[in-house]
Each structure stands twice: as structure tokens, then as C-alpha cells.
Structure 1
Amino acid sequence: MRALFSFLVAAGLALSAFAEDAAPAEDSGRAIPAVTLATARIAEMQARVPVSGTLVARQPVQIFPQVSGYEITEILVEAGDTVEKGAVLARLDSETLSALLAQAEAEYQRAEAGVSQAQSAIDATAAALTQAETSLRRMRQLRESGNVSQAVLDEAVAAEAAARAEAASAADGVGVARAALALAEASRRVARLNMQRAEIVAPVAGLVSARNAELGALSGAGSEPLFSLIAEGSVELAAEVIETALPGLAVGAPAEISVAGLGRIEGEVRLVPATVDPVTRLGLARIALDPDPRLRTGLFASGWVITARRQSVAIPAGAVLSDSGGDRVQVVEDGVVRTREVRAGLLWDGQREILEGVEEGETVIARSGAFFREGDRVREAAAAQQAPEQAADP
């Protein structure tokens, strides 16, 4: 029995020693996890706001006739034509307007003659008044010397008063004649303007977008304009923008717009929405587009407004881990994981901007960083793929 007990004790000691020697070997042979690594680099980062809408005229112009009731006798343009400022678009029947102008000219000439006549009357009454005043003075002298009777003097006084009244009346007549001349001049001016308005002209240069004028129709008979123009032919996008993106919009921000059937066209924000539709929660921005003769109002367009663009440190978006405690990144230094808090910024093209916490050139775990902790050892996935090949070599 004693010999059996001694054998068992010796065997136990041997097994214990073997276990102690085997443990480090097992630890040293444990596989190091392979991970996908990425290097922080300087890249362009952008913030974009999606927009969509319809092409509209930047400055629509409606042309109505300025004289009513006259037949349209000639139409010189069609929708789609480009016109210069002052170009004749249509003509109205001008026979009646010509007669009215001739009548106004005649009235003006008569009023001019009336002023001349009134002026002559003033001159005549002024001479008569002077003669009456001279006669009155002479009669008074003669009366003082007793050479004329009181009746003769009274007649001279009455004649002088009558001459004075006629002079005053003649002066008033000149005022009336001049007022009549001013009225005739205004009437002649209106007649001349109406004669000019028999030609419907373009108030600005631009593109004729619509023609409602018809030969034989009477001017002013309908509520629609005779012609509609797009000033300078400038077309822009009336873009709907979600309310949460409005604070980032600014006048002059660049835009990349895709127009149906035309492709990409560059532009910039011209107007920022001042209000938001309470039902759709959208604001309507205006985006000026680069000139292109293919642009047509009514076309659908969509695209992006670039609200921010800068060069920054960037890493793959999946490398940034976010939770209630903030953002963090698993940085790898000499094969060891170091958890580092960061301040993340823009997300663009699969990359995330790092404002603080990671410098250019540092290595981070690109994916599955949440499975590792501070101090874990890792190796790059590419090295793991090469290991079997190296082991197969003789």
C-alpha cells in the first residue's frame, strides 16, 4: 500500500508540472484577431441639401394692350422667338387713332390762336385804358379851371372805369386761353401716345414664352395678356427644400442640378425661402442656373445644394462609434488598440470628418471596432490572408 501511495503522489506531481509548462505554450499560440485597418487622410468633405422642383422664368413679363377696342391687324412673333427691347410684336388698326390725333392737333392749333387773340385784346385794352386815363386827367384840370361842366368830367370818369374793366377782362381772357391751350396740348399728347400704342412692343429683351393674340380680335377684349415673355430668357429652378435644411442655405451657395432630359447643369442659390408651407413643411428656394438654350420652363429638375466644402482629416464612416457618451474611434498603435474620443463632423462619400481626436496618418479600425477594447492586440486583415500562403511555401 505504501508503495502504491508513493506512486500516485509522484504521478500527481508530474501531471501538475506538465500542466504548468503547457499553459504558457497555449497562451503564446493564441491567434491574434485580423481586422480591416484604414489610415486617416486629408480629403475634401462636403455637406449637401437635396432639392427638387420645376424650372420657371426668373422674371416673367406679361404684355397687355394699352388701348382697348381696336382690331389686331398684324402679329409679328411666335412663341419661342427671341426679341430685343422695343421690337414690334403686333399692330392694331390705327385709322381711328390717326383721326383722333389729327383732331387733337387741330384743337391745339385753335388753342394757340386763342392765346394770340387774347394777347392782342390785352394790348388793345391797355391802349384804350391809357387814353381814358389821359382824358380823365385833362378833364379834371379843365374842371378845376371851370372850362368844362361836371357832366363832362363824370363821362370821362366813367370811360376810364370802363377801359380799366375791359383791360382786366382781357387779362382774364389770356388766362382762359392759356388753360385751353394746356388742355389741347394734353389731349394731343394722349392722342400721340395712343397712336404709338397701336404697335405692341417688347418692354424688355427676352424669349416669347406664350402668344394669345389672334388676328381680328379686339385689343383688351380678354383678361389674358397678348404675349408673355421671359426677360433675358433667364430660367431658374423653383426648388423645394425641407424645413430642417433651410438654416444651412445661403445666397450664392453652389448647386449641382440634374434637369430632365438635359443632364447636369451648374447653378447657385439666388433666393433663400422666407417662409415654409405649413402643410408640406417645405420652403421654396430659387436657384439660378447657368445659361443653356435647352432650358424650358416646366421641366422637372432635382439635385443638391452644397452648403459646406472643406479639406479635413477623414476616416471611413464605419470607424466612428457613437453612443450616448459621444463619438470614439479605435486607433491602432503598434498592433495595440487605443480607444480615443473624437469630435466628428461631416459625413460625405462614405467618409467621416474628424475635427478633433485623430491626426492625419494615424491608423484606425475601419469596421467592427466595437468588438475590441483598450489594449487588445490586432493585426491587419491583409497579413492574415498572406499567412496560409507563406506556410505552404517549402
Structure 2
Amino acid sequence: MRHTCLTFCSPRRAALATFCIWLLLSPVNSFADLTVSYINIQRQAGFASERVYAGKTLPSRSSELGFKRGGEIAQVLVDIGDVVEKGQVLARLDSQTLASNLEQAQANTALAQANLSAAKAEAQLAENTEKRFRTLREQGNTSMQIYDEAKLSFQTKRAQYQVAQANVKRALAAANASKIALAEAAIKAPFDGIIQSRYMDEGTQILGGTPAVKLIELGPIKAHVGVPSESLVSLTIGNTYNLSWNGKAQPARLMAISPEVDPDTRTLKAVFKISAGIIPIGAVVELLLEQRVQTPGFWLPVSALTASDRGLWGVYVVNAENIIERRLVEVIHNEASRAYVRGLLSDKERVVNSGVQRIVPGQSVLPLKAQESANVNANEQANAGR
């Protein structure tokens, strides 16, 4: 009875064993026939990276204007946004006292000039008298006493004339000072520009040197951009570069680079001149600067990289026997969809560029070049659709 059972069960057991063997071997076969997409890498001598540095636009000239002397503001003739010309009066102080001082100084000048004329006439008369008495003295027709008196009178009148001359100069200087003080009671535009700020109104008591209005120059503006010292090799004074504002590019000429490093930002100040455009004053701009880095390496798609230890990355290479090998690389520079790496790679090697999560080192694969792989996938999708 037991022998009959064994004979009856043997075919079932044989079929079960065959099925198990097929289950065990079928993944290996399919695993070995896995298709992978690869690219042939090419060694590069270096790479160009784009760096963005921020800066700010400024007017070519900007001045906060005030009065040299204090007083009460009588007129403010401009407001924010007004365009003014060089020499145009922007504001005035109450100048009644200054005008009165000028009139007094002018009157003193007139008086001093009149005294000078009188002193000059008296000095001329005394000189002529001295000459006549000297001739009479030489002829013996007058005494020494009378001649000495005439000579002393001439010297006195001559000294009085010199004093009168000094008084005229002093009066003229006082009158000129009064004119200057009256002129300084008005603020005039030092250059063509536009009023940026108005700080004071009529009737305000203002101290000397306190700003009343702010004026910025019209025309070309400049931009100050902080650039690290290692980027100076990419900048040449006199060349034109693009500054970006709100996604719009504006050409700007590099005018100068400051020689001193900013202690806060550790950058050098690059000064650009923007001749015309849409960028307003005070806007934040960006300088897009291309830098060439001389480091041998390879460009790889980001999809070809797998994480590894100690800051390194791994890539899968298909060798001559179509076996997967893993190599370690260091990422030097990365962009949106690709990375520049260096490591244990050789020129023209086949690097798996996608689907790296499906493979392991030592695996046998069917490699297809990236474009061929894309065509195969497209055909498979088309067949599936049918």
C-alpha cells in the first residue's frame, strides 16, 4: 500500500520540483537580459560655470543740499519729482536782514571812497607845498623851520591817504561778504537733475548745513556689484557686461574695480556704468559672470549618479563583457540636469545614464546607446497601445 502511494505521488513531486527550479532560474535569466541605456563620456579640460553676483544701482551724482547759514525758510520752489537745471534756485531764506546789511556795506564803501578822494587831494597839495619850500630853502629864501613844517605836513597827508586806501579795501570786502551771504541765502542746483526728497517747508527754522532737498543727477546711472577677488580674472575694465533686473538684461560698461576688500562682504566693488535703459535707481541688479575652471573631468547627467560615502558619488560603467562596474567620482560642479565630475573614469567609457536603481555591480546587461534605448522604449509603448 505504501509503495503504491509513492509511485502515485512521484509524478506530482517531479512536476513541482521542475516548477520550483523554473521559478528560481527565471529571475536570473531575465536579470541577465536587462536592457540599460548608456552614454559614451568624453574627457574635458575644464568647464565654464555661471556665477551670479548681486549689486545696487546708484545715480552718477547725488547731493543733499542745504543753506550754509541758518535762518527762516522763505520759499521752497521745488517738490519731489521736479526736473531742474544747473544753477536753478531751489529754495530761499528770509533775506531782509542780509539785504539791509548789504546796503549798509555799500554805503560804507561809498563813504570810504569819498574819504579816499579827499585824502588824495590833501596829500597831493602837501606834496606840491613841500616841493616849493624845498626849492626856496635851496635858494636861501626861507628858513629851515618853515621847510621842516611843510615836509612833515606832506608825510602826514601821505599817511592819511594810505589809511583812506585801506578803509576802502575794508569797506569793499565787507560789501562783498554781504553779497556772498545774500547769495548763500538761496539753494541752487549744482547740476541737472531731479528732486528725490524735500525735507523742509516754508517757515521752518533751519540750521546751517542741514539738508533741505535731495538732488540726483539725470542721465547715466551706475551699479555697484560685490565680486570676490578670485573672479577678477573674468572682468576687464572697459568691457561690456549684462546686468539683469526683473528678468531683463541691460548692457553695462565696467568702469572701475575698488582696490580694497569690503570688510563685511569680503568682496571687491565693481562699478558699472549704465548709459540708458529701464533699470531704476536703487534697484537690485545681478551680474551673470561666466568663469572658466581648468579642471579635467567629465560631464554626466544627474540621473547617472548614485549616493556614496564621504561625499563621493557612484556611477555604473558597462565594461567590454557587458558587465556592470561601479566607479567612485567627485562632483566638482552641478547644474540643473548635469554634473561635472572627476574620478576613476576613462575617455569613451560607457556610463549608464538612467535607471541606475535597477542594476548592481557584476550584473550582466544588454547595453543600448541612449538614443537607441529611447527608440526601443517608444516602440514598446506603441506595441502596448495596440
Q: What TM-score comes out, normalization by structure 1 length?
A: 0.63
**CA shift for structure 1 position 274:** 2.1
- Judge conservation of contact 2:195–2:214 (CA < 8 Å) in 1: yes
Q: Deviations over 1:305-342 (max 9, x none)?
A: 415379xx984465899x99xxxx999999999xxxxx
Residue correspondences, number: 332
What do the CA deviations read for 1:90-116 (whole angstroms, capped 9, x no partner)?
Answer: 222232222222111111122222222
Aligned residue number for residue 66 of structure 2: 64
Corresponding residue of 2:280: 295
Instruction: Name the CA shift for 1:171/1:320 in 2 (closer, same or farther; >3 Å).
Output: farther
Aligned to 1:188: 175
Q: Percent identity, aligned pairs only?
A: 20
Q: For residues 124-163 of structure 1, what are the structure 2 equivalents within 5 Å?
A: 124-139=125-140, 156-163=143-150
Q: Kindly tell me: are residues 365 and 67 of structure 1, through their superposed partners in 2, closer, same or farther at Cα, counting changes over 3 Å?
A: same
Where does residue 121 of structure 1 map in the other structure? 122
Output one character per residue of 1:144-187: Cα deviation in whole Å (capped at 9) or x when no partner.
Answer: xxxxxxxx7xxx21222222222222222222222111111111
> Are 1:285 and 2:269 matched, yes or no?
yes
Of 46, 49, 54, which residue of structure 2 is paired with 1:51? 54
Aligned to 2:82: 81
Q: Hey, what does 2:328 align to over in structure 1?
A: none
Q: Deviations over 1:234-256 (max 9, x none)?
A: 65555566xxx333144567353
Q: Is 1:209 matched with 2:196?
A: yes
Q: Which residue of 1 is the match for residue 230 of structure 2?
A: 247
Report the Cα offset of residue 58 of structure 1: 4.8
**Match for residue 207 of structure 2?**
221
How far off its partner does 1:85 sit?
A: 1.2
Aligned to 1:13: none
Aligned partners of 1:212 and 1:224 also within 8 Å: no
Partner of 1:47: helix, strand, or coil?
Answer: strand
* Contact 1:56–1:235 (CA under 8 A) maintained in structure 2: yes
Question: Structure 1 residue 165 and structure 2 residue 152: aligned?
Answer: yes
Q: 1:137 to 1:233 in 2, by over 3 A?
A: same
Give TM-score scaled by structure 2 length: 0.64
The counterpart of 1:232, out of the listed 214, 218, 223, is 218
Extract unaligned runs of 5+ from structure 2.
1-31, 325-330
Shift of 1:78: 1.0
Does residue 111 of structure 1 match 2:98?
A: no
Give the alignment's Cα RMSD to 1 decimal: 5.1
TM superposition shift of 1:64 = 1.1
1:381 Cα deviation after fit? 3.6
CA spacing shift, 1:257–1:383, aligned 2, 3 Å: closer
Going from structure 1 to structure 2, the CA distance change for 1:50 and 1:364 (only over 3 Å counts) comes to farther
Aligned to 2:286, what secondary structure does the other structure show? Answer: strand
1:306 maps to 2:307: no
CA distance in 2, matches of 1:157, 1:87: 70
Matching residue of 2:4: none
**In structure 2, C-alpha distance between the alignment counterparts of 1:309 and 1:205, rounded to whole Å:** 43
Write the deviation string for residues 248-291 of structure 1: whole angstroms up to 9, x where unpaired: 144567353335xxx5353466544723335xx54473654644
1:380 matched to which residue of 2? 369
> Is the 1:51–1:305 Cα contact (8 Å) retained in structure 2?
no
Query: 1:335, 1:378 within 8 Å by CA — same for their partners in 2?
Result: no
When residues 386 and 309 of structure 1 are mapped into structure 2, their CA distance, relative to the original with a 3 A threshold, is closer
Q: Residue 229 of structure 1: SS of its match in structure 2?
A: strand
Amino acid at match of 1:380: K
Distance 1:302 1:330, change over 3 A: farther
